[in-house]
Amino acid sequence: MSVSSFKMTFLFIFFSILTGCQSKITDERLGLYIDYKGIKPKTVRVLQNQQIKTDKNIGFANFLTIEILGIDSFEKLSSGKVLPGAEYAVVDEKQNIIYITKDLFTKYGLIGVPEKDAASLKLNLTIGKPMEVGKKYFFLFRIWDKNSDKELKGNLELNVQ
């Protein structure tokens, strides 16, 4: 797959809205938009340097954390463990991918993790190069169940200062 077609496929996956989505979580003040199908969190928190984030602005060299808390909908394996998947990317206003991390849980393979460990997932990002001060970016993320078609997709707008 060429870089161009990979980029288009990746952006389509993250920006498309699934017609089968059960629900949405939206916080326009933060610029947070989440669609979920099957993976319903009890709480979603956005932190900047371990403090609750209150707007779209974020300082250069700051630390961003998205906490997806209270997930209890992963399909269990016969061992009682679950197979979560998570990935994220940062794109600029022109939809150029400037950073991507694929499947954060690859190391668990088909063994899985205890259900209690997958109930609360965190995605972390340090705001830095190649991002630039004064520009807008989008932090795109996806969490899915490798044992079903359940997933959660999110988009967080970031104004780097």
Strand partners, 51: 48
The pTM of the full predicted model, rounded to 2 decimals, is 0.85
User: Which of 28, 27, 26 minimizes the C-alpha distance to 17?
Assistant: 26
What is the rounded distance in angstroms from the CA atom of residue 51 to the CA atom of residue 81? 32
Query: Quick check: 159 pLDDT over 80?
Result: yes
pLDDT-derived band of residue 10, with 50, 70 and 90 as boundaries? low
What are the extents of the domains in the chain?
Answer: 3-160
User: Is 3.30.70.1380 the CATH classification of the domain at 3-160?
Assistant: no
User: Which of 67, 69, 46, 45 minimizes the C-alpha distance to 58?
Assistant: 46
pLDDT-derived band of residue 22, with 50, 70 and 90 as boundaries? low
User: pLDDT of 83-106, one tens digit each?
Assistant: 999 999 999 999 999 999 999 999
